[in-house]
Amino acid sequence: MAVLEPPVDAASDPVWAVGALCRAVGDALAARFNPVAVRGEITGFSRAASGHCYFTLKDRDGQLRCAMFRRAAQGLAVLPRDGEQVEVRGRIGVYEARGDLQLVVEDIRRAGQGALFEEFLRLKARLEAEGLFDPTRKRPLPTLPRGIGIVTSPGAAALHDVVTALRRRVPHIPVVLVPALVQGAQAPASICAALEQLYRLAAEGGGEGYAAGAPPIDAILLVRGGGSIEDLWAFNDEQVARTVVQSPVPLVSGIGHETDFTIADFCADLRAPTPTAAAELVAEPRELWLGALQLLGERLSEGLQRQLDQRHQRLDMAAQRLGRPSGLLARQQLQLARTGQRMRHAALLRLQRLDQERQRVQAQFPQLWQRRLALQGEQLERLGLRLELLNPQRVLERGYALLTDAEGRAVTDPAQVRTGDALQARLAGGALDLVAAPPRLL
């Protein structure tokens, strides 16, 4: 650590280098004041792309430049806003590049609200550990809600902003307002009761139950305008948080300004930075859907027109064919003539082939006939020989005789004749008349 003492120079007054003097002053302030706590009003708050935050802390008597680097700023649940009274803790020093007095902030809390903020952080951590903030339980918003429910104070400016946005974007969608207190000790119970009333209506689908004829509710808006942490504290109530997560339909929170965060925001299906933005999230402009319907209608009309044009074209072509039958007849006659010509040509080819076959037969006929006659002669000769072998005369010539009775029947068994019957024996040289003698055994 540098000591605030000038260099020794006997010949002249001490002369400091600028950077050395800034460092010496910074070291002296650090040794005297750090760590330091300061209370004041924030002005000129900004957050750079790097994540570092810069602002000025002021009161009636002075102001102090402050820097909160990204490491410390990441621990902020809610970023501070201009005009807020805060208490900061950090290290005082000198920014040597400009020679400015600067406070490097390590922690920041709203002045007089430290206890509330710490309670907020404790409840947030506990509910987050229970899974009430789990992104997987968050539901997408309906594309075309049939009805929208609103919970807020009937006299609040937030209601006017929401209704104005809904009338501008979706005047055809019915809206159901369930009034509730949004500030004060009775506000948490009032908010829970209003939400539960809308839940029943959403579960019943509209038209029956306690509000017969009411429209079905497909989305709920929980909205309130901006304010201090005390003003918004009803939305940091544990019972309100647990009631929010029980919604049967998607619930959008629009509480305070863009930099305001409440426990209800973390429990809702979707957080909007403002009440107006919440209304816009659940209300796609009617003109957008009308434009889409018009585009679809134009496409449908074009498609139908194309179909009609195609049918008309086919009808015209059919009419042309029916309107000029002579052309069709001429084409068919030509096709018939070509077919007849092909048939005549085929017949001539067939006749030519038959004539050529006939000529070949005629040329080969004498040889074939002679060969056939020779074969038949040989066959006849063989048959004659076989017939000759079967001639009975040849059998008789070998000493056999053919014995017949008076009626010329062949006798092959002695039992066929009786003693004294006239018989005839035919021999090779002639016939003998015989008389049957008594039979005898051989």
Per mean pLDDT, which range of 69-73, 101-105, 320-324, 392-396 is the poorest?
A: 320-324
Q: What is the pLDDT of residues 281-325, one digit of tens each?
A: 988 766 666 666 777 887 887 888 888 878 878 887 777 666 566
Q: Which residue has the higher pLDDT, 160 or 111?
A: 160
Predicted local confidence at residue 61, as pLDDT: 83
Please return the burial class of 442, using the count of CB atoms within 10 Å of its CB with bins 0-12, 13-18 and 19+.
Answer: exposed
pLDDT, tens digit, 9 for 90 and up, residues 164-185:
999 988 888 899 999 999 998 8
Q: Where are the beta strands (DSSP E) in 187-329?
A: 219-224, 251-255, 270-271
Give, for 290, the enclosing helix (H) or strand (E). helix 286-323
In sign, the C-alpha dihedral spanning 188, 194, 199, 200 is: positive
Percent of the chain beyond pLDDT 70?
A: 88
> Poorest-confidence range of 88-97, 317-326, 388-397?
317-326
Backbone angle region of 209, left / alpha / beta, with phi > 0 → left and psi within -120 to 50 → alpha: left
pLDDT score at 193: 95
User: Collapsing DSSP states into helix, strand and coil, what is residue 90?
Assistant: strand
Identify the pLDDT of residue 290: 65
pLDDT at 93 over 50: yes
| 349-385 pLDDT per residue, tens | 888 888 888 777 677 767 777 787 888 888 888 887 8
Question: Is 65:71 a contact under the CB 8 Å cutoff?
Answer: no
Domains of the chain with bracketed CATH: 18-112 (2.40.50.140), 121-287 (3.40.50.10550), 395-435 (no CATH)
Task: Please say if the pLDDT value at position 8 is more than 60.
Answer: no
* Separation CA 74–CA 52 (nearest Å): 9
